[in-house]
Structure 1
Amino acid sequence: MRNSALSSHHQIIINLLSCFIFLQAGIIHVESKVPAVIVFGASMVDAGNNNPLPTISKCNFSPYGRDLEGGKATGRFSNGRIVTDFISQAFGNKPLVPAYLDSSYGIEDFATGVTFASGGTGFDNKTADVSSAIPLWKEVEYFKDYKIRLATLLGKKAAIKTIKEAVYIISLGTNDFLINYFGLPDRSLHFTLKEYENFLTGIANNFIVELYRLGARKISLGGLPPLGCLPIKRTLVAGHACNEEFNTAAKSFDMKLKSLAAKLSGELQGSKVVFSDIYHIVMDVIQKPSLYGFENVKNGCCGSGRFEVSYLCHRWNPLTCKDASKYAFWDAVHPSEKLHFIIANNMMKTSLTEFV
Structure 2
Amino acid sequence: MPLTQELLAELHNYQGRNPRPADFDAYWDAALRELDATDPQPELVPSKELSPRNSEAFDLWFTGVGGARVYARYLRPKNRAEGGADGKCPALLQFHGYAGSSQRFLSKLVYSGEGFCVAALDARGQGGRSEDNSTVRGTTYMGHIVRGIDDPDPRKLLFRQIFLDTAQLARVLMRFEEVDPERLGVIGCSQGGGLGLACAALEPRIKRAVIGAPFLCDYRRVWETDRAVDAYGELGHYFYNFDPKHERADQIFTRLGYVDCQHLAPRIKAQVQFYTGLMDTITPPHTQFAAYNKITSPKELVVYPATGHDVPFECDQSLQFLLGL
TM range (shorter): 0.3 to 0.5
Per the normalisation by structure 2, the TM-score is 0.38
| Bigger share in strand | 2
More helix by share: 1
> Normalised by the size of structure 1, how large is the TM-score?
0.35
